[in-house]
Structure 1
Amino acid sequence: MIRLNVFIQVEEKNQSELLGMVKELVELSQAEDGCIAYDVFESSTRFDVMMICETWKDNETLIAHTQSEHYKRIMPKIHTLGQFKTEKFEF
């Protein structure tokens, strides 16, 4: 399995728009084959940070996810609204 923790730092003025897009991404990604878990969390200590936590069956399903229509449509917009740091774990 593969786990991605995607930390997003976002300015307050962009939070609502970004969260709306992330929620759509979460909903559509949860329905994909190979998706074990996919959710978004808001930091309780930093108002400007949220995290997308993804767990995938294997690298093939993660690659398929990054090639999906919704990923290609939503992610470029999300990237314009925040700064990203990704941690990847394989287990």
Structure 2
Amino acid sequence: MAKAEISWKRKLPDGTKVQVYAQLVGGEWRFFQRSRRYERWERVEDPPLEDWLALLDAVRRMVPRRRYMPEDELRLRRQIRERFPELEV
């Protein structure tokens, strides 16, 4: 997995497990998901808030390890605020 990719797993409301990964391309995050290991990754055009918060948590943990710059975290927080203005991030 490249430096600009972060992955995690989550459950859908019906109990199905989903693998999710986010990829940083040109300053924008692209989200992909699949339900099984050998299925194709499908792009998620409008990811849910849960995925954005999981990504923010992962980026925050990687800043002290110098895998991401503090500016990357600030840029991500700004993107979350633009998509979800009612949320205080």
Given the two structures, how large is their TM-score scaled by the length of structure 1? 0.31
- The structure with more helix, counted as a fraction of residues: 1
Determine which structure has greater relative contact order: mean sequence separation of CA pairs < 8 Å that are 6+ residues apart, divided by chain length.
1
Q: Which has the higher strand share?
A: 1
TM-score of the two chains, using structure 2 as the length reference: 0.31
